[in-house]
Amino acid sequence: MSGWIPLRKRLLVRLLIASGLIAVCSVAATAWLAVETTTRALREEQGQVLADDMDVLARLSGYAATHPDWRGVRRTVRELSAKTGRRIALATADRTLIADSAPRGTALPLTAAAAVDPLRTDTYTERGAQISGTDPRVVGPYLLTAGERAELDVLARKRQRCFARFGIDLRLTRAPSGRPVLTVADGGSDPGYVPDACADGRFNASMPTEQKALTALEQRARGCLTRAGVDPTMPLFLGVDANPSALRTPSYAPAYAKAGAEVARAAQRCLADARRAQLDPYVAPAAQLFLGGGGDTPAVRFDMSPANKTKIFGTAGLVLAVTVAVTAVVATRLVRPLRALTEAAQQPPELHVRVPVTTRDETGILAAAFNELTERRERLESQRKAMVSDIAHELRSPLTNIRGWLEVTRDGVVAPDPALLAALHDEALVLQRVIDDLRDLADADAGTLRLHPEPVRCQDLLDQVAAAHRVAADAGGVTLRTAVDGTPWLEADPVRMRQALGNLVSNALRHTPSGGTVTLAARRDSDGGAKGDGDGGGDVLLEVTDTGTGIAPDDLPHVFDRFWRAEKSRSRRTGGSGLGLPIVRHLVAGHGGTVDVASEPGTGSVFTLRLPGAPER
């Protein structure tokens, strides 16, 4: 692989591009947030201005509701202008100036902001809104006398104490007409439930001043009611308004409720017109309100100046430059160990170069993993060389013997008698066994080791293995026996299992002196027996136990290594080819099992095969 990397694919370039994009996005997001925040603040400021405008309108409408003309409004206009910081002007419908906070001679704005007419606009009942209707502050002839107020106050306090006895806390307020109003302490209106002990019928009754005004209102409305086909003799009453602080509104509604909705609406229209005519002498004439630049002033909006744009772009460039610089420094430090790894990986394999681990981050972990891989590769290379040497050693001895005997026989030194042919046959068998073992290991490494599983009874399996090695055991003076606990079964390849057990038995006979014992045993695992209750499942343990020389503790981890033997002399009298135990491990693993060994020098060894069991037949 070439060591040259295209510029666009280099890690440093990618990090710089990524950091630049991040910086641009962060600056853009910050600028957007600043604009949004500023715009929101301006909108809130604009909302405050609108609220101030509504307060101005409500204040001037209240003045008109309580004064019959505008003669004293100039002082109020100046106060409102000083409070809001805006121009406030009042003019008639034909733009004749009534009062103005601006210097004399200043032209009025093109359009008026609102109309000030308390007989047709209510700015008092709901703050910040203009409701169609009469302003409750227009009291006129409904204003109670001092004596009537005192009388109603006594009744109100009496009712307040009466409600308190029933656990209802009432609060006393006063309407613009001077009438006391009782509301629930939490802000509600006059409670709908009135205990019988508190219902005296006097508190909500009309006072003489109110009744006089209602009689005059009936007379004003009689003509309109007659023209509308409504009976004008129905009496008026003061209904309870939705706002407890408002005037109790004259109404025909209860009287005409049964006559139908159309009749009730006609009566209310006549009553509203008559009431405005009744209250007109008590209010100032309608006027136009002009605020600031008037209604043609554009809405407040955010507009970035060139100086602000320069600041934003300059700050963005500075942030981008700092980001790129910091990223370059960090990226260089990140790339340096990666370059060392690349150079080490490009060295000849036989050198097994390591790299220094200078950090404890991901790069340091990568360097440590590279060093471990190098060590593992070096170890595998050493094992490969040792394996080649071992194979050459295992094949050299029988081949040398066969070649030597054949040469002396060809030269006529030795006659080809049966004993010589038997010796040559034994050497050929040794070669065949080594080649077969190597082929089995190659198949296991390549994953092509073929198994043909079938139900196998452990008793039969152990008997077959014992019978195959009985002659060798008798020749060595070793007792070979079997022991089976219960009737365990396996789902296994019988040929391969005989091969695995045979290798263990051969190894045990080779290391067991005359008079010793080699035992083949089979049983179900006591720990896994619960899994097999009722169906014979669970694990099955096959054990090969001998009373031989045992294995040293330092040698136990290597017993399954290829071509490993405790006797370094590699004498075929005390050891085989060194491939039997590795083959056992691969065969057992192919059946989904494991193999373990336990041994003490001088007492013998125990090889245990743990295999999945099968249901009993």
pLDDT of 350-389, one tens digit each?
Answer: 777 888 877 676 677 788 888 888 888 887 777 677 667 7
Both 201 and 157 in a single domain?
Answer: yes
Closest listed residue to residue 271, CA positions, set 335, 217, 328: 217
**550 part of a folded domain:** yes
| Residue 183 structural domain | 140-282
**388 part of a folded domain:** no
Both 278 and 290 in a single domain?
Answer: no
Q: What are phi and psi of 510, to 5 degrees?
A: -70, -30
Both 147 and 271 in a single domain?
Answer: yes
pLDDT of 40-80, one tens digit each?
Answer: 666 665 556 677 788 888 888 889 888 999 998 999 999 88
pLDDT of residue 546: 94
Residues 131-142: what's their mean pLDDT?
A: 85
For residue 168, the tally of other CB atoms under 10 A from its CB is: 17
Cβ atoms 148, 207 nearer than 8 A: yes
pLDDT of residue 361: 65
pLDDT band of 397, cuts 50, 70, 90: low
Both 335 and 258 in a single domain?
Answer: no
Both 308 and 234 in a single domain?
Answer: no
Residues 326-330: what's their mean pLDDT?
A: 76
Both 491 and 606 in a single domain?
Answer: yes
Torsion of CA 348, 354, 356, 360, to 10 degrees: 120
**500 part of a folded domain:** yes
pLDDT band of 570, cuts 50, 70, 90: very low
Both 496 and 603 in a single domain?
Answer: yes
Summary mean pLDDT of the chain: 78
Both 109 and 147 in a single domain?
Answer: no
Q: Is the pLDDT of residue 423 over 80?
A: no
**578 part of a folded domain:** yes
Residues 198-210: what's their mean pLDDT?
A: 81
**327 part of a folded domain:** yes
**148 part of a folded domain:** yes
**445 part of a folded domain:** no
Q: Is the pLDDT of residue 176 over 70?
A: yes
Q: Catalogue the long-range contacts made by 53-56 (C-beta closer than 8 Å, 24 or more residues apart).
A: 53/113, 53/114, 53/291, 54/123, 54/127, 54/128, 54/129, 55/84, 56/80, 56/84, 56/88, 56/289, 56/291
Domain count, the chain: 3
- How far, CA to CA in Å, does 33 sit from each of 20, 36, 134, 159? 20, 5, 46, 58
Instruction: Write out the two tokens for 130.
Output: 């203009």
Both 599 and 472 in a single domain?
Answer: yes
Both 96 and 155 in a single domain?
Answer: no
Both 295 and 213 in a single domain?
Answer: no
**438 part of a folded domain:** no
Q: What are phi and psi of 287, to 5 degrees?
A: -140, 165
